[in-house]
Structure 1
Amino acid sequence: MPKNNWPEWLMDSLQVLKPPEKLTVSEWADKYRVLDSKTSAEPGQWSTDRTPYLRGIMDAFTDPRVEEIIFAKPTQVGGTECMNNMFGYVIAQDPSPVLIVYPTLELAEFASKNRLQPLMELSPVLANKYRVEESKVLELQMDGMYCVISGANSPASLASRPIRFLFMDEVDKYPKNSGKEADPRSLARERTKTFPYNKKIFQTSTPTLKNGAIWQSFEKADVKLHYYVPCPHCGHYQTFKFKGGIKYDKTLPPEKIKQTAYYECESCKGMIRDAHKPAMLRNGEWRDSTGVTRLATKTGFHLNAIYSPWVRFGEVAYEFVTSKDDPETLMNFVNSWLAEPWEKTQVKLNSDKVLERSSGYEEGVVPDRTIFLTGGVDVQKDRFYYTIRAWGEKVTSWNVRHGFCETWAEIEEVMNAPYSTKDGIEYFVNLCAIDSGWNPDDTYDFCAKNSEWAVAIKGSSVEIPAKYRLTKIDREEKGLFGISLYLVYGSYYKDLIANRIARKAEDPGGWYVYEGCDREYAEQITAEHKVTIKRNGKEIDVWQLKTSGADNHYLDCEVYAAFAADRLGIRYARYEEPEPAKDDVTQKKPQARKQTNNWIGGDKWL
Structure 2
Amino acid sequence: MKKFRVKRYEVPGWIITAVEILRPRKRLSVSKWAEKHRILPDGNAIPGPWRNSVTPYLVEIMDTFDDDVVEKIVFVKPTQVGGTSAMENMLGSLIDQAPGPTMIVYPSDDLAERTVDAKLEPMIKACKVLAEKYREHISKKLQLKFGTMTVYLNGANSPADLASTNIRYLFLDEVDKYPGASKKEADPVSLAIERTKTYTTNRKIFITSTPTLKTGHIWKAKEEADAEKHYFVPCPNCGQYIELKFAQIKWPSKDDVPDNAERAEMASYVCQACGCVITDQDKGKMLEAGRWEYVRKSTAQPKSVAFWISTLYSPFTRFSDIAKEFMRSKDDPELLQNFTNSWLAEPWEDTKLKTNADLVMERQTDVPALELPEWTKLLTGGIDVQENCLYWTIRAWGDFTTSQNVAHGQALSMAEVERVMNTAFSLPSGEKMMVELALMDSGDQTDAVYEFCLINAEWVRPCKGVPTMQGHYKISTVDKAGSRANGMQLVLVDGGKYKDMIAARMRRPNGRGSWMVHKDCDLEYAEQVTAEHKITERSKGKVVQRWELKTSHAANHYLDCEVYAAAAADVLEVRSLFLQNQEGAEKPQEKVDQPPRQEPAPEENWIRKHEEWI
Partner of 2:197: 193
Q: Deviations over 1:187-210 (max 9, x none)?
A: 111111121100000000000011
Match of 1:36 among 12, 34, 41: 41
2:115 aligns with one of 81, 91, 111: 111
Please report how far the alpha carbon of residue 119 of structure 1 lies from its aligned counterpart in structure 2 after TM superposition: 1.2
Distance of aligned partners of 1:194 and 1:293 in 2 relative to their CA distance in 1, 3 Å threshold: closer
1:99 and 1:147 in contact (8 A); partners too:
yes
Matches within 5 A, 1:272-351: 272-289=278-295, 296-343=302-349, 347=353
For residues 291 and 237 of structure 1, the distance between their equivalents in structure 2, rounded to whole angstroms, comes to 19
- Contact 1:97/1:162, CA 8 A, preserved across alignment: yes
State the percentage of identical aligned residues: 45
Show structure 2 runs of 5+ residues with no match.
1-7, 356-373, 375-402, 407-501, 519-531, 538-546, 552-614
- Residue 61 of structure 1 is matched in structure 2 by 65
**Aligned match of 1:501:** 508
Give, in whole Å, the separation in 2 of the partners of 1:30 and 1:293: 32
Match of 1:45 among 44, 49, 53: 49
Check whether the contact 2:229–2:296 (CA below 8 A) recurs between aligned residues. no
- Counterpart among 261, 273, 277 of residue 271 in structure 1: 277
Indicate if the aligned counterparts of 2:170 and 2:196 stay in contact, CA closer than 8 A: yes
Question: Do 2:505 and 2:513's aligned partners in 1 also have CA atoms closer than 8 Å?
Answer: no
Aligned pairs for 1:79-478 within 5 A: 79-177=83-181, 180-243=184-247, 245-251=248-254, 252=257, 253-289=259-295, 296-343=302-349, 347=353
Q: Deviations over 1:514-550 (max 9, x none)?
A: xxxxxxxxxxxxxxx954389xxx95449xxxxxxxx
SS at match of 2:59: helix
Q: CA deviation at 1:321?
A: 1.1
Indicate if the aligned counterparts of 1:103 and 1:175 stay in contact, CA closer than 8 A.
Answer: yes
Aligned to 1:573: none
Deviation sequence 1:351-381 (CA, Å, 0-9, x none): xxxxxxxxxxxxxxxxxx9xxxxxxxxxxxx
**Structure 2 residue matching 1:340: 3-state secondary structure:** coil
Distance 1:341 1:120, change over 3 A: same
2:386 aligned residue: none
Take 1:2 and 1:500, find their aligned partners in 2: how far apart are those partners?
Answer: 93
Deviation at 1:115, TM superposition (A): 1.1
Is contact 2:226-2:297 (8 Å) kept? no
The CA distance in 2 between the partners of 1:235 and 1:192, in whole Å, is 44
AA in 2 matched with 1:21: K
Please, what TM-score do these two structures have when normalized by structure 2?
A: 0.57
Q: 2:260 and 2:197 mapped to 1: Cα distance?
A: 53
Q: CA deviation at 1:292?
A: 12
Structure number with greater Rg is 2
Distance change >3 Å, CA 121–CA 282, structure 1 → 2: same
In structure 2, how many angstroms separate the alpha carbons of the residues matched to 1:97 and 1:139?
A: 11
Conserved in 2, the CA contact under 8 Å of 1:346 and 1:532? no
Q: Is the contact made by 1:170 and 1:204 (CA closer than 8 Å) also made in structure 2?
A: yes
Unmatched 5+ residue regions in structure 1? Answer: 350-368, 370-392, 397-494, 512-528, 543-606
* Matched residues, number: 381
- SS of equivalent to 1:331: helix
Q: Hey, which bits of structure 1, 4+ residues long, moved more than 6 A?
A: 1-4, 290-295, 393-396
How far apart, CA to CA, are the structure 1 residues paired with 2:95 and 2:112? Answer: 19
Q: Which amino acid aligns with 2:88?
A: N
Q: One-letter code of the match for 1:276?
A: D
Work out whether residues 73 and 204 of structure 1, in 8 Å CA contact, stay in contact via their aligned partners in 2.
Answer: yes
Per the alignment, do residues 504 and 37 of structure 1 end up closer, same or farther by CA in structure 2, a change over 3 Å counting? Answer: farther
Compute the RMSD of aligned alpha carbons.
3.4
- Deviations 1:115-157, CA, capped at 9 Å, x for gaps: 1111111011111111111211100111211100110001233
TM-aligned CA distance change 1:186 to 1:291, over 3 Å = closer
Deviations 1:260-287 (A, max 9, x none): 1000111110100000000110011111
1:343 positional shift: 2.5
| Letter aligned with residue 247 of structure 1 | K
For residue 322 of structure 1, give the secondary structure of its aligned residue in structure 2.
helix
AA partner of residue 501 (structure 1): R
In structure 2, give the amino acid aligned to 1:260. M
Normalising by the residue count of structure 1, what TM-score does the alignment of the two structures yield? 0.58
Distance change (3 Å), C-alpha of 1:295 and 1:257: farther
Residue 340 to residue 506, structure 1, CA distance change in 2 (3 Å)? closer
Distance change (3 Å), C-alpha of 1:54 and 1:509 = same
